[in-house]
């Protein structure tokens, strides 16, 4: 649906509620703000196919900025608020942005204004920036002529190297044209104008941004958490009678580790659909979540690239524990190193056929590396997995994280899943480190629930705990402790940063 039509029908309905501050942006305000910014961008010479970028905290006007680009036929890149100046400069330059928007709280952007024609800052100004509020307010709240659909162009989170910009083709369809994601969210998850969608993650990530815009197309209210907090997420579900939400497994783990009396005091009965993705969910964690919330969990496996969509509901998952589902978009091909299709139960690199095309902007080598080298035209996200006899997909790990120890392939996700649910573990990463005899040895780096527990006794306890559930060769031979792991707020672990510390004088075999 067209945002303008929603605003005309329900002008005073909340389009955005900030869960922490309680600030409300109505559909009238969302529509007007996006129209004014669209007019400013048009006046500055931006036309369909051009590009803007923005780096913001979860701000009340975040979605209005995205809508301005979406209704102008532009590409827009939402940039992680955690990036450093050189990373920011790389993305803004790589996507060829003609406008950049940030806020006064983003120090990396304030201190190093990107080299683009138009720079705007919310909530204050810094050298090199114009006031967003002043520039936007100078334009009328009427839509530009010839509105057409734009698209996000988002960058991978860089967990295994330089971020890659995923550039889908622009349709430039008339504004309000329903796309595949709208059809999926309304058809599969039942979103409509009565829905209330909770987004506990940063909006610069693909799923929170895309899902928030689609729910607003439906006329639904989006509740945005400024920052995830386990108990405050439960409080938001109760307070706003949330019907739909989207999570990552680390959020589940943190909510499950709340005291029983805290978890029990919130009314979660309004929640009809809890979607999760972005990282593998340990089986015991999902079992406990279904026991707690009921069969409202919906899981999918997909990527920013949009080349596939694999899905399972709670009922199918309980019958195939550990699966991420069966494909709704794209067919699965499990291939070995020679390109041969693997039988059920045998892991291999996952390729997908029949899905939309994509490219990594400005990087033909990375684009080519995502295609199968045997000429089928299939694409991969770099993951390893297998299917069972019923066609359900199970993820093993990322290909780049595989450990080769004494010639044996080890997938660290197995040990991570076991250790993540230990009551003394707040977070964990498992990866290979140099070993003179075996080539690589399995290492765990753990963020303990209490740093006071860190030490040889807990190390021995965790190794024994893992060996009680997995073959010994899959378990860490040693454990290091950190006060915090470098985890992206969307749930993805920057394992590369940890591995680099141990491999700084060598090149890991699995890199």
pLDDT for the residue numbered 335: 94
- Please check the confidence at residue 491 and state whether its pLDDT lies above 80: no
In the chain, CATH 3.30.300.30 covers 402-502
pLDDT for the residue numbered 500: 84
In CATH, the architecture of 178-304 is 3-Layer(aba) Sandwich (3.40)
- According to the per-residue pLDDT averaged within each range, which of 142-146, 246-250, 483-487, 492-496 is highest? 142-146
pLDDT digit string, tens, across residues 493-505 = 777 788 888 888 6
- Please check the confidence at residue 508 and state whether its pLDDT lies above 70: no
Q: What is the CATH number of domain 328-400?
A: 2.30.38.10
* pLDDT class of 322 with cuts at 50, 70, 90: very high
Selected from 3.90.340.10, 3.30.300.30, 3.60.150.10, 3.60.15.10, the CATH number assigned to the domain covering 402-502 reads 3.30.300.30
Mean pLDDT of 161-180: 87
Percent of the chain with pLDDT over 90: 71
pLDDT digit string, tens, across residues 11-64 = 999 999 999 999 999 999 999 999 999 999 999 999 999 999 999 999 999 999
Mean pLDDT of 193-197: 98
Tell me which of 468 and 382 has the higher pLDDT.
468
* pLDDT class of 66 with cuts at 50, 70, 90: very high
* Fold of the domain built from segment(s) 26-173: Rossmann fold (3.40.50)
In the chain, CATH 3.40.50.980 covers 26-173, 178-304
pLDDT for the residue numbered 492: 67
pLDDT, the chain, mean? 91
pLDDT for the residue numbered 160: 46
- According to the per-residue pLDDT averaged within each range, which of 214-228, 388-402, 476-490 is highest? 214-228
Mean pLDDT of 275-290: 89
- According to the per-residue pLDDT averaged within each range, which of 82-86, 134-138, 376-380 is highest? 134-138
In the chain, CATH 2.30.38.10 covers 328-400
pLDDT for the residue numbered 161: 57
The residue ranges of DSSP E strands in 196-308, in sequence order, are 196-199, 221-224, 244-247, 273-276, 297-301
Helix spans in 355-448 (H): 364-369, 413-420
- Please check the confidence at residue 408 and state whether its pLDDT lies above 80: no
Burial class of residue 302 in the structure, from the number of CB atoms within 10 Å of its CB (0-12 exposed, 13-18 middle, 19+ buried): buried
CB-CB contact of 70 with 82 (8 Å): no
Strand partners, 427: 447
CB-CB contact of 443 with 477 (8 Å): yes
Mean pLDDT of 244-272: 94
Please state the separation of Cα 268 from the chain's center in Å. Answer: 24
- Please check the confidence at residue 157 and state whether its pLDDT lies above 70: no
pLDDT digit string, tens, across residues 100-118 = 999 999 998 988 899 999 9
- Please check the confidence at residue 509 and state whether its pLDDT lies above 50: no
- With residue 182 as reference, give the H or E element that holds it: helix 180-189
- Please check the confidence at residue 82 and state whether its pLDDT lies above 60: yes
Mean pLDDT of 344-356: 91
- Please check the confidence at residue 262 and state whether its pLDDT lies above 50: yes
- Please check the confidence at residue 207 and state whether its pLDDT lies above 80: yes
Report helix, strand or coil for 27. Answer: helix
Mean pLDDT of 418-444: 90
Mean pLDDT of 260-270: 97
* pLDDT class of 120 with cuts at 50, 70, 90: very high
* pLDDT class of 320 with cuts at 50, 70, 90: very high
| Long-range contacts formed by 494-497: CB under 8 A, 24+ apart | 494/157, 494/158, 494/159, 495/159, 495/401, 495/429, 495/431, 496/158, 496/159, 496/160, 496/161
* Cβ contacts of 146 within 8 Å, gap of 6 or more: none
Mean pLDDT of 265-284: 92
* pLDDT class of 261 with cuts at 50, 70, 90: very high
- Please check the confidence at residue 319 and state whether its pLDDT lies above 90: yes
Report helix, strand or coil for 4. Answer: helix
Provide the whole-model pTM: 0.84
Report helix, strand or coil for 165. Answer: strand
pLDDT for the residue numbered 428: 93
CB-CB contact of 405 with 439 (8 Å): yes
pLDDT for the residue numbered 159: 45
Taking CA atoms, 170 is separated from 139, 149, 258, 368, in Å, by 26, 8, 44, 21
């Amino acid at each position: 649906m067209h945002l303008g039509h929603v605003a005309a029908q329900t002008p005073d309905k909340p389009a955005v509620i900030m869960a922490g501050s309680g600030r409300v942006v109505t559909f009238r305000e969302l529509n007007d703000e996006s129209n004014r910014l669209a007019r400013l961008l048009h006046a500055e010479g931006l036309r369909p196919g051009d590009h803007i970028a923005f780096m913001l905290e979860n701000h009340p006007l975040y979605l209005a900025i995205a809508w301005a680009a979406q209704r102008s036929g532009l590409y827009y890149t939402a940039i992680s608020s955690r990036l450093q100046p050189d990373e920011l400069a790389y993305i803004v330059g790589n996507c060829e942005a003609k406008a950049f928007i940030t806020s006064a709280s983003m120090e990396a952007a304030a201190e190093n204004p990107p080299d683009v024609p138009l720079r705007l800052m919310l909530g204050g100004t810094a050298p090199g920036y114009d006031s967003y509020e002043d520039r936007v307010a100078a334009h009328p709240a009427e839509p530009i002529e010839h509105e057409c659909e734009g698209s996000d162009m988002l960058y991978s989170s860089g967990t295994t190297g330089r971020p890659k910009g995923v550039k889908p083709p622009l349709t430039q369809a008339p504004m309000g044209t329903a796309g595949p994601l709208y059809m999926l969210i309304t058809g599969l998850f039942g979103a409509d104008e009565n829905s209330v969608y909770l987004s506990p993650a940063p909006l610069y990530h693909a799923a929170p941004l895309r899902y928030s815009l689609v729910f607003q197309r439906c006329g639904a209210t989006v509740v945005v958490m400024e920052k995830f907090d386990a108990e405050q997420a439960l409080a938001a579900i109760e307070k706003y009678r949330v019907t739909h939400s989207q999570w990552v497994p680390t959020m589940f783990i943190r909510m499950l580790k709340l005291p029983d009396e805290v978890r029990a005091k919130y009314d979660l009965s309004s929640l009809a659909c809890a979607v999760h993705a972005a990282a593998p969910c340990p089986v015991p964690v999902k079992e406990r979540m279904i026991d707690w919330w009921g069969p409202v969990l919906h899981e999918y496996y997909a990527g920013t690239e949009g080349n596939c969509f694999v899905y399972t509901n709670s009922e199918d998952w309980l019958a195939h524990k550990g699966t991420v589902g069966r494909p709704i978009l794209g067919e699965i091909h499990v291939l070995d190193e020679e390109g041969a299709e693997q039988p059920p139960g045998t892991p291999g690199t996952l390729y997908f056929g029949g899905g939309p095309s994509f490219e990594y902007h400005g990087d033909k080598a990375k684009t080519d590396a995502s295609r199968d080298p045997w000429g089928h035209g299939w694409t991969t996200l770099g993951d390893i997995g297998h299917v069972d006899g019923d066609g359900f997909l199970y993820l093993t790990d990322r290909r780049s994280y595989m450990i080769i120890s004494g010639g044996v392939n080890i997938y660290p996700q197995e040990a991570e899943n076991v250790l993540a649910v230990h009551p003394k573990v707040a977070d964990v990463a498992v990866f290979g480190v140099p070993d003179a005899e075996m080539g690589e040895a399995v290492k765990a780096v753990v963020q303990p629930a209490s740093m006071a527990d860190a030490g040889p006794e807990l190390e021995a306890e965790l190794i024994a705990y893992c060996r009680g559930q997995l073959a010994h060769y899959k378990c860490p031979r040693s454990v290091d402790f950190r006060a915090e792991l470098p985890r992206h707020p969307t749930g993805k672990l920057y394992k590369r940063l940890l591995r680099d510390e141990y491999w700084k004088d060598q090149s890991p075999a699995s890199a």
